[in-house]
Amino acid sequence: MRQDIVIRGTTRTGLLLLLPDEWEFPALCQRLREKLAQSGRFFEGAGVTAYTGRRVLAESEQRMLAEILRDARMTLLSAVEGGDPVAEAQAAAKAAEEARRASPPAPAAPVNLETALVVTKTLRSGQEVRHQGDVIVLGDVNPGAVVIASGHIVVMGALRGVAHAGATGKTEAIVAAAKLRPTQLRIAHVIGRAPDEDSPQSVPEVARVRNDLIVVEASSEKRQA
Amino acid sequence: MGQVIVVTSGKGGVGKTTTTANLGTALAQLGNKVVLLDADIGLRNLDVVMGLENRIVYDLVDVVEGNARLKQALIKDKRMENLYLLAAAQTREKKDVTPEQMKDLTEQLAREFDFVILDCPAGIEDGFKNAIAGAQKAIIVSNPEVSSVRDADRVIGLWDAQAESKSPAMLIVNRVRPKMVARGDMLEIDDMLEMLAVDLLGIVPEDDHIIVSTNRGEPAVYHKESKAGKAYHNIARRLMGEQVPIMDLNADDGIWAKFKRIVGLSRS
């Protein structure tokens, strides 16, 4: 079945008219007249932007289109080549996302248990842990507490204080927490802080450096890729 | 041996002295032999709140330095037979006393009293170290407010870092305004407990009686109609090992609510 003409409201430019490629121009005009007749006075007074697909409208054809619209008391604002702009934007975003997934960040080296420090209590305000290697905290890191490690930092509870992973310049270090709500995050030379508005999600998250920015994502996301 | 309990908070102005005075009085009302010890040397307040300022002859530093015997320095409360106060020195400094001296002093007091309650100064310096030295239990007072909770967390950390023989800190959330909590304008008590990870000893509502009673030198627990006084009474009973449910601050106390309760329209 051939694709039909689409008339759709948009927020910015009034109506949007999609002209499918597979129709001959006269048939297209015929169908448009029918459609407009069906919708009665519904579109009356609207400005229309026509998307012509791969078709290039001749000047006479464009005049014809404008006339058909004028008969239905509508104005042709412009006729542009190309398909549905919304669908195209979505497709572009999807392609970008796929490209991102196809090249995942370099995987972080696994936690080295030989040199890892395991902190078995909650770190409270004013308490600081510094360690050459990875740090695992079996508890929370409260606001005002600081964890500094040359390797990764993993917090099994809530991280609400300051964490500095890869402190000696290791940019592939990560900070992971069951509840990642840090006052500030630092990985190697990159500093990030929590957004000023609270984001109330509580899934385990991982922070890592990507393009010199600290990026936070759900820890399960990596496995799907 | 009696219990030695320090009342502390880190931050100033959250209600340590008020809590000490009211808890001490409530414990005495419940039949315990209680001594209150003002560890805020140089900035003493507890005597004023208790209305005993004009009876001070000897103070804590006099005892520690041997200028007075402990018995001489203990001031008997004007209302309760079994309640005593050891005042802080006003003209001296915190470093005039050492943690060891405080430990000896509280040990001596614990032999004679059921409860020794120390009113800790604000801050985490010498005065704080002195006050916690001899205590086995700590009551942390915090307001439902971010800076106060932050300081409470710091103090709990310092308390935990001591010897293992000390029992875990307990929390009193003071000056709670139920309507503001309900509106979400104050920190939720559950959120405070989640972060501080300590046991809740009690919730004390904001109460105008406190200001009046402080100025009169008469703790709020003497006032039957004071909600804060009632909350302190409940806390005193919890300290004695009783199971007392946390008071519902949202309970309406108007005439209409009482009427509804009588005719059985309301559950409380």
Classify the phi-psi angles of A166: left when phi > 0, otherwise alpha if psi is within -120 to 50, otherwise beta: left
Which residues lie closer than 8 Å to A57 by C-beta, 6 or more apart? Answer: A65, A79
* pLDDT for position B262: 62
The domains of chain A, with CATH numbers, are: 6-87 (3.30.750), 117-224 (2.160.20.70)
Half-sphere exposure of A73 (CA within 13 A, CB side): 8
- The count of domains in chain B is 1
Q: How confident is the model at residue A25 (pLDDT cuts 50, 70, 90)?
A: confident
Identify the weakest region by mean pLDDT among A8-22, B134-148, B225-239: A8-22
Which residues lie closer than 8 Å to A139 by C-beta, 6 or more apart? Answer: A119, A120, A121, A122, A123, A155, A156, A157
* pLDDT for position B252: 57
Identify the weakest region by mean pLDDT among A33-37, B135-139, B197-201: A33-37
Taking the CA of residue A117 and the nearest CA in chain B, the distance in Å comes to: 19
Average pLDDT over residues B149-178: 92
Q: Which residues of chain A are within 8 Å of residue B156 when distances are taken between CB atoms?
A: 124
Identify the weakest region by mean pLDDT among A77-86, A173-182, B48-57, B155-164: A77-86
pLDDT at residue A206 above 50?
A: yes
Q: Is residue B242 part of a domain?
A: yes
Q: At what angle do helices A25-38 and A59-71 cross, to 10 degrees?
A: 10
* pLDDT for position A198: 65
Per-residue pLDDT reduced to its tens digit, A3-23 = 788 887 765 667 888 888 877
- How large is the ipTM? 0.74
Per DSSP, which regions of chain B are E strands?
3-8, 34-38, 75-76, 83-86, 115-119, 137-142, 170-176, 199-205
Average pLDDT, chain A: 83
* pLDDT for position A2: 64
**Tokens 């669908």 belong to which residue?**
A87
Q: Which residues of chain A are within 8 Å of residue B195 when distances are taken between CB atoms?
A: 140, 142, 158, 160
**Tokens 């041997």 belong to which residue?**
B66
Q: Is residue B199 part of a domain?
A: yes
User: pLDDT: is B176 or A52 the higher one?
Assistant: B176
* pLDDT for position B268: 45
Domain that holds residue B207: 3-262
Alpha carbon distance B32, B106 (integer Å) = 17
Identify the weakest region by mean pLDDT among A107-121, B190-204, B234-248: A107-121
Q: Which residues of chain A are within 8 Å of residue B192 when distances are taken between CB atoms?
A: none
Q: Is residue B245 part of a domain?
A: yes
The enclosing domain of B92 has a CATH number of: 3.40.50.300
> Quick one: tokens of A91?
């497709």
* pLDDT for position A28: 83
Q: Dihedral angle at the C-alpha atoms of B191, B197, B198, B204, nearest 10 degrees?
A: -10
Q: How confident is the model at residue B220 (pLDDT cuts 50, 70, 90)?
A: very high
Q: Which residues of chain A are within 8 Å of residue B153 when distances are taken between CB atoms?
A: 124-125, 142-144
Q: Inform me whether the C-beta atom of residue A205 falls under 8 Å from chain B C-beta atoms.
A: no
Which residues lie closer than 8 Å to A148 by C-beta, 6 or more apart? Answer: A128, A129, A130, A131, A163, A164, A167
Alpha carbon distance A158, A182 (integer Å) = 9
Which of A121, A124, A158 comes nearest B153 by C-beta?
A124
pLDDT at residue B159 above 90?
A: yes
Q: Which residue of A has its CA nearest to B124?
A: A126
